[in-house]
Structure 1
Amino acid sequence: MAHHVYESLADSFVAEGVGTCFALLGDANMNWATALAGRGVEMVYVRHEHCAIAAASAFARKTGQTGVATVTCGPGLTQVMTALPAAVRAGIPLVIFAGESPLGAAWYNQEIDQAPFVTATGSAYRRLHHIPRMTEEIRDAFVQAREERRPVVLGVPFDLQAQMLDAPLKQSPPSTRIMPQLAPMPANPAAIADLAGRIGQARRVVVMAGLGAVAAGAGPACAALADRLGALLATTLPARGLFHGHPYSLGVAGGFSSTLARALFQQADLVLAVGCRLTQHNLDKGKLFAGAEIVQIDLAPRAVSQGMIPATSHLRGDAKLSAEALHLAVAPSPGWRNDRLKAAIADMVPDTADFPPEPGLLDPRDVVAELDAALPAEWQMVNSSGHCSFFFAHMKRPHSHFLTIREFGAIGNGISYAMGVAAARPGDTVVMFDGDGSLLMHVQELETIRRHGMNILICALNDGAYGSEIHKLRDEGLPDDGAVFGRVDLGAIARGFGIAGERITDLSDLPAQVAKFARTGGAAVWDFPVSDKIASPVIRRAHPGGHCGTERPVDIEALL
């Protein structure tokens, strides 16, 4: 029976267990994508190529699967040059079917050498130019994405895709069948004993967990180790919420740490970094744990990270097994736990600085606190990037219900990440937190959300500007005109796309608004006009002259 090459390529993706694909169609991918849809794969058709890749990234992070997206060749591919490095930096496996210009054409207006663009982002590029090997190449792309934890882009000339075959191409065994099934790696017993001895000399220990601890299911083991040592708990930003509800959890460690957490971290003498990369942000450029020994516990510890020597010693091993082994090897200690400190952590606010109120405008910290109190615990939360992301990062939500991807520092991704989470959790309500500047970068995806019937509530802090930039410009004594745009009515824009939209100026209305949205479902944008004078602690430390606030340090002497 006659069969197109693109049909066999679609069969290869189905054989890999692909159930969802984020797509924007063009000449080089539309036949393949149509065949994929015809084989029962859920297709999410977005309005911009960047958003297909970004949504697939969030889907992958949320499901633990390899994310799949497709864009056309040439300009379709060049549109994704921000989404690709964002996935690379976050270690997210993706396979992207991008097509290529036809090999047999003397001229094609969208022809471009695609590989240098892709590899410049840190992603891999595979040219599929030999039809008999194409199905095996697709299988190998899924292997590569999983093993290397990065995107793999497939370039398949669309004239080759259109060729007719007498019979379907033979399918290779899928990647899931040939991937090594690796058992967790225990740490060396001698290394455990040595580290246990050093832990016994420490008085104030912090157990800090990252995504490696999340992947290993090490959260309970890390908490148990901390309880035995009287230690404080913290996480990296991507792993935030792993110790949700623990009375001695300080939340995020890094540039996003709360005022109390930063003060306590300065008093630590030993940090057990379990499954952490130890980055510049996570260690706040080496300032966060100024007097502490830092031990990196990881499957692949690194001597140098982002230009710094982050750890003083290392333990190679699985996060969960290592935490459990240390728990057995160390003696119990009260550490620095007491009722006074426990009460202070329970009452902890992310930012203690004072700012003069602005009539008619909200304090973003108040908005976040009220949203945290009003939004149901079972809803899925998505944090975007940019200035406002500090405030939302401190919401009291478990890791399983709060997504953060911001390793590349790019704004404009939030709405795509929300779509990815909505596809990954189709029965859940998704709440996305963003700023006005970031939301407006890809506001066209409101139409995608409406068309696909996604239950997404977008809460935007609207300061009428690019928040980080205005504070930096003011700090340097420069005009902020180029970063100030005025407070667009985001609710009206949402209504123009056929979804609900509200401008909320009275926070006492929030419980009723949340209850109404819970009843109706659907999609909505809530526009919160906030003061542009309130700078996050991250900005204030780097640009102290760009704000009008008064710092209120926390006195921890009485807590220790």
Structure 2
Amino acid sequence: MKNLPIYEALAQAFAAEGVDTHFTLMGDGNMHWASAMKNLDGMGTFSARHEHCACAMAMGYHLATGKVGVASVTCGPGFTQIMTALTVAARGRVPLVVFAGEAPMNAKWYNQALEQPPLAAATGAHYISAHSPQRMYQYVREAFYVARHDRKPVVLGVPYDLQKQPLPDIGEYQPSSTVLPATERVPPNPRQIEQLVEKLAQAKCPIILAGRGVMRAGAAKEVEALAEQSGALLATTLLARGMFDHNPFSVGIAGGFARDIAHEVGAQADLVVAIGTSLNYYTIDGGNMFANAEVLQIDTEPVGLRNGMKAADFYLRADAKLAAAAALEKLHARGKVKASIRSAELARRIAEEPADGAQFAIEPGLLDPRRAIDELDRVIPKDYDCVSGSGHQAYFHSTMRGRKPENYHAIRDFGAIGNGISLAIGVAAAKNNGKVVLFEGDGSLLMHIQELEMVRRHRLKLLICVLNDGAYGAEIHKLRSDGIDESGAIFGRTDLAAIAKGFGLRGANVNDVAQFKPLFDAYQAQDTAELWNIHVSDRVVSPHTRRGMGRGHGKM
């Protein structure tokens, strides 16, 4: 269209990339583009109350859909607000495109002017300064190409005054799909498959550890069959939680959030075959999860050094599905294996023993968070999407069983609290079915509780379960361990249910697990988001935190 303003042309280019939803907080630098996006047919527009939250919502949308998340902020102070969000996306390898305004190019002075590219670079994000009208389409294509190909956040910075100029005649937009390389699955090296099979056949206590690479490759069936053939136990990373919960010899999550039984057999393991996982610090619990095992990594991008530690002893670069299938075929032909770890007694213990058997004295009127989660696991249907907040409380709901890994959403890579509500909003916007539950802590939720207004305004339905210990949980336990006064980390149990009601949502205070079933029945029968303020004891220390304090917290 002749004389189309650049901001409108850019909005149409985003739509040509398959964008159907974006999250924004308007300011001078992005208001024209955001309005043009809002007016596109079929475009979902969600207006946040904080720039960080707009970006985190876009990340949640990606987690739920696999699509590139799209957010928009203004220049200067609007941009500086998203430094944590960009870092989280970069560390978590989340494909995200942020349309950011820049100060007007022709203004002699502008109060919100700021050199934005260096700040983006410090977070690990890719920054594109879109200053040439003739190259506007190239900038958008590059942004989506980098986000998709490199799996990282990209900021597209466009000066405020330039956006309002007419777009030159530069032809039709060519989306990033036209330049993304089409590649085939990477087959395994046959000699290395022989070596893998030999190691599996000789191992007495092998464990096959599956990560999200197995999910992306659609390889769960082949990996489980390989474990059956080899007599290995199964385990997953946190983000692949639940993949093999149906299998009696799956010990669940490996690493910091592992069950007691998983740590026990992990110490006995003599071989770990890690498939589709980067083997980060938390998955191997700082090197303590499989201390006596030889570790073999199968991945399309194997690494020798991960988080300051040797990642594995043997590396096989291959697609998870092809590698597992090839190993299964060879192992089947070989026949006999030496694995002896599987037994009826072990299967019983996996099924019946609690995730964490430690005992704590619980104060009257408060709940043990582990028992609260046990009951929530019984009450909330297995098809709900579960969104995990961060902080000390994040361990407890990780013990829930029988839920698909595709329905579990978390980003742990920067250790930032305060993201849960925004991630959940992004998932709820994508699913639009009311079957989304956020598990969060009180301190983390209060960082961005203003987004409850946005939930009400956009009529999103989700359930928010807050484990409220009246404090910053990790800090009080560490301070107590050090013998230091913890009162600075204790704030009291805020009436979060009343706050939710103040925003026009539903809320309830919970201090008895018997409340959950009737509350959930009532939640399902109506169409408004709801917050449960669950009063839990601050005496229950997660096993991950206990082990960290025992080793000396802060020592990596």
Same-fold call, TM > 0.5? yes
Amino acid at match of 2:161: D
CA distance in 1 between counterparts of 2:549 and 2:199 reads 38
CA contact (8 A) 2:362 2:539 kept: no
**Aligned pair in 2 of structure 1 residues 543, 279: CA closer, same or farther (>3 Å)?**
same
- 1:400-419 superposed matches below 5 A: 400-419=406-425
Asked if 1:137 is matched to 2:139, the reply is yes
CA deviation digits over 1:200-257, x for unaligned, max 9? 1111111101111111111111111111111111111112122232211111100111
Amino acid at match of 2:108: A
CA deviation digits over 1:327-363, x for unaligned, max 9? 1111354642111111111113211100012111110
Q: Which residue pairs with 1:482 in the alignment?
A: 488
SS of the residue 1:342 aligns to? helix
Asked if 1:379 is matched to 2:384, the reply is yes
CA contact (8 A) 2:239 2:408 kept: no
Query: CA shift at 1:270, angstroms?
Result: 0.5
Amino acid at match of 1:381: C
CA contact (8 A) 1:244 1:399 kept: no
- 1:533-548 superposed matches below 5 A: 533-544=539-550
Amino acid at match of 1:400: E
Q: Which residue pairs with 2:431 in the alignment?
A: 425
Query: CA shift at 1:399, angstroms?
Result: 0.6
- Between 1:286-295 and 1:399-408, the stretch displaced more is 399-408
Query: CA shift at 1:427, angstroms?
Result: 2.3
CA contact (8 A) 1:136 1:171 kept: no
Q: Which residue pairs with 2:4 in the alignment?
A: 3
CA contact (8 A) 2:27 2:73 kept: yes
Q: Which residue pairs with 2:165 in the alignment?
A: 163
Q: Which residue pairs with 2:192 in the alignment?
A: 191
Amino acid at match of 2:98: I
Query: CA shift at 1:544, angstroms?
Result: 4.3
Q: Which residue pairs with 2:352 in the alignment?
A: 347
Q: Which residue pairs with 1:100 in the alignment?
A: 102
Q: Which residue pairs with 2:293 in the alignment?
A: 292
2:463 equivalent among 440, 457, 465 = 457
CA contact (8 A) 1:380 1:428 kept: no
SS of the residue 2:395 aligns to? helix
CA deviation digits over 1:13-60, x for unaligned, max 9? 011010010111101111001111111211111110011111111211
Amino acid at match of 1:13: F
CA contact (8 A) 1:266 1:288 kept: yes
1:45 equivalent among 47, 53, 74 = 47
CA contact (8 A) 2:434 2:462 kept: no
CA contact (8 A) 1:361 1:531 kept: yes
Query: CA shift at 1:481, angstroms?
Result: 1.9
Q: Which residue pairs with 1:441 in the alignment?
A: 447
Query: CA shift at 1:521, angstroms?
Result: 3.0
CA distance in 2 between counterparts of 1:249 and 1:170 reads 56
Query: CA shift at 1:177, angstroms?
Result: 2.8
CA distance in 1 between counterparts of 2:184 and 2:432 reads 32
CA deviation digits over 1:164-214, x for unaligned, max 9? 34x665333211232112111110111111221122111111110111111
Query: CA shift at 1:374, angstroms?
Result: 0.4
1:91 equivalent among 71, 90, 93 = 93
Q: Which residue pairs with 2:251 in the alignment?
A: 250
CA contact (8 A) 1:96 1:153 kept: yes
CA contact (8 A) 1:92 1:150 kept: yes
Amino acid at match of 1:343: R
Amino acid at match of 2:352: D
Query: CA shift at 1:394, angstroms?
Result: 1.1
SS of the residue 1:385 aligns to? coil
Q: Which residue pairs with 1:281 in the alignment?
A: 282
2:393 equivalent among 388, 391, 398 = 388
Q: Which residue pairs with 1:215 in the alignment?
A: 216
Amino acid at match of 2:381: P
Q: Which residue pairs with 2:35 in the alignment?
A: 34
SS of the residue 2:287 aligns to? coil
Asked if 1:358 is matched to 2:363, the reply is yes
Amino acid at match of 2:55: I
CA deviation digits over 1:495-541, x for unaligned, max 9? 00000010011111211111111111320110011111111011111
Q: Which residue pairs with 1:499 in the alignment?
A: 505
Query: CA shift at 1:407, angstroms?
Result: 1.4
Query: CA shift at 1:300, angstroms?
Result: 1.3
CA distance in 2 between counterparts of 1:194 and 1:476 reads 48
Amino acid at match of 1:93: P
Asked if 1:149 is matched to 2:154, the reply is no
CA contact (8 A) 2:211 2:276 kept: yes
CA contact (8 A) 1:476 1:545 kept: no
**Aligned pair in 2 of structure 1 residues 180, 428: CA closer, same or farther (>3 Å)?**
farther
CA deviation digits over 1:120-173, x for unaligned, max 9? 0111101000011011110111011111111000110010001134x6653332
Structure 2 unaligned spans of 5+:
none
CA distance in 1 between counterparts of 2:437 and 2:406 reads 14
CA contact (8 A) 1:350 1:391 kept: no
Amino acid at match of 2:285: D
Count of aligned residue pairs for this structure pair: 546
Structure 1 unaligned spans of 5+:
547-560
CA contact (8 A) 1:135 1:170 kept: no
Amino acid at match of 2:370: R
CA contact (8 A) 1:212 1:298 kept: yes
- 1:247-326 superposed matches below 5 A: 247-326=248-327
CA contact (8 A) 2:58 2:96 kept: yes
SS of the residue 2:277 aligns to? coil
